[in-house]
Structure 1
Amino acid sequence: MSGSGVSVNIKSRFPGGRNVGGKYSIGDHSVTMYLGEIKKQCMTLFGSLDGYEAMLRIVFAHELGHAEDPMLSELSEEMDMCQTGLERKRIALRIEENAWDYARNLVPVQDRQMMETVIFYSLEAYREAIALESAQEIA
C-alpha cells in the first residue's frame, strides 16, 4: 500500500532490555519488527492481546513513516550537531511526529482510535522530557 522499497526483518525481542516494537535503520533502509515487544506493548496499553494484529499494523506503519520521511537524514544531521539537550529532544520529537503523520495515512479506519492511543503514549515521554528541560532552563 505504501509503495516503500524498505526491507523488513522480523525478530522476537529487541536487544538491550528496552521495549521497542520496531526500528528503522537508515544505513541499510530496513525495518526490524520485534514481535514479542509489540505483544508486551499491546498488553501494557490495552490489557490483552485482542488488538495484537492492529498493534502490529500500527507499529509497522510508524516504522515505514521513518523509512519514507524525506526529512529524516537532514533532521538526523541536525540532531548530531545540537548544542543543547533541549534542541536534541525537540528534533527527536519532530522525527517521531513525522513518522506518525505518515502512518496515519496507512492505518485502516477501524484501527484509528487504537492508533491515537498508541501515538499519545509513544510521544508522551518525548514531550515530558522537553517540558522538564524547558522548566529547568527557566529556573
Structure 2
Amino acid sequence: MEKAIAERLVRRLLEASGSTANVILKGSFPGGRMIGGKYSLSTHTITMYLTEIASQCVQLFGSDEQLADYFEVVLAHELGHAEDPRLPELARILEQNKAAMESARTALLIEENAWSYAIQLLPHAEPAFVDRIVEHSLAGYFEAIVQASA
C-alpha cells in the first residue's frame, strides 16, 4: 500500500472518530510477529505496520485487492483501543491478575470493546468483510479461554 493512501485513510478515520491519538506508519513490525497495528496506552499512539497489514490481507482474503479496506478496518480497531474509556482499568486488571481464566476473559473484553467501536466507526464497510476480520482476530482469544478452562 502506498504510504500516501494510508495517510489519507488515517486522516479520514481520525476526523470521523474525533480521536486525538497519534498515528505512526511504519514498514514492518520488529520481532517477527505479524502484528498489523498496536496501540500504546502510555503514549496514546497507534503504530500501523504496512508490510504486516498487506500480508494479513493476503492471508485472509487471498489477495491484496481489498488492502485499503483492510487497513481501514485494522486502524478503526486500534482507534477502538485508543478511545476505550475502560482500557486503563482493564489493562491494570490484566497486568495484576495471574489467573489464566481471568486474564483470558479480560484480554477478550479489551478486544471486543475495540471491535465494537471499529464497527460503529465503519458503517460503510461490507459487514461480511469486517466479520471475517473480527472472527479471525478474536479466534486466539477464544482459544485462550478454552485452554484456561481445561
Q: TM-score, normalised by structure 1?
A: 0.94
Q: 2:86 aligns with which of 38, 62, 71?
A: 71
Instruction: Single out whichever of 25-34 and 104-113 deviates more from structure 2.
Output: 104-113
Q: 1:118 aligns with which of 133, 138, 141?
A: 133
In structure 1, the partner of 2:75 is 60
Cα deviation for residue 108 of structure 1 reads: 3.9
Cα deviation for residue 54 of structure 1 reads: 0.3
Q: 2:105 aligns with which of 90, 107, 125?
A: 90
Cα deviation for residue 80 of structure 1 reads: 1.3
1:127 aligns with 2:138: no
1:26 aligns with 2:41: yes
Residues 110, 72 of structure 1: alpha-carbon distance in 2 compared, 3 angstrom cutoff: closer
**1:54–1:111 contact (8 Å) kept in structure 2:** no
1:41 aligns with 2:51: no
In structure 1, the partner of 2:10 is none
Residues 49, 92 of structure 1: alpha-carbon distance in 2 compared, 3 angstrom cutoff: same
What secondary structure is seen at the aligned counterpart in 2 of 1:105?
Answer: helix
Q: Percent identity?
A: 47
Encode CA deviations 1:7-39: one digit per residue, 9 max, x unaligned: 110001111111110000111101000011000
Cα deviation for residue 86 of structure 1 reads: 1.6
What secondary structure is seen at the aligned counterpart in 2 of 1:16?
Answer: coil
Q: Which runs of 4+ in 1 moved over 6 A?
A: none
Instruction: Single out whichever of 56-65 and 109-118 deviates more from structure 2.
Output: 109-118
Q: Given residue 88 of structure 2, which amino acid in structure 1 is its aligned partner?
A: S
5+ residue gaps, structure 2:
1-15
Encode CA deviations 1:44-93: one digit per residue, 9 max, x unaligned: 00000001000000000000000000000000011111131221111000
In structure 1, the partner of 2:26 is 11
Aligned length: 135
Q: CA RMSD in A?
A: 0.9
Cα deviation for residue 110 of structure 1 reads: 3.6
**2:35–2:49 contact (8 Å) kept in structure 1:** yes
- Equivalent-residue separation in structure 1 for 2:137 and 2:49 (angstroms): 16
**1:21–1:34 contact (8 Å) kept in structure 2:** yes
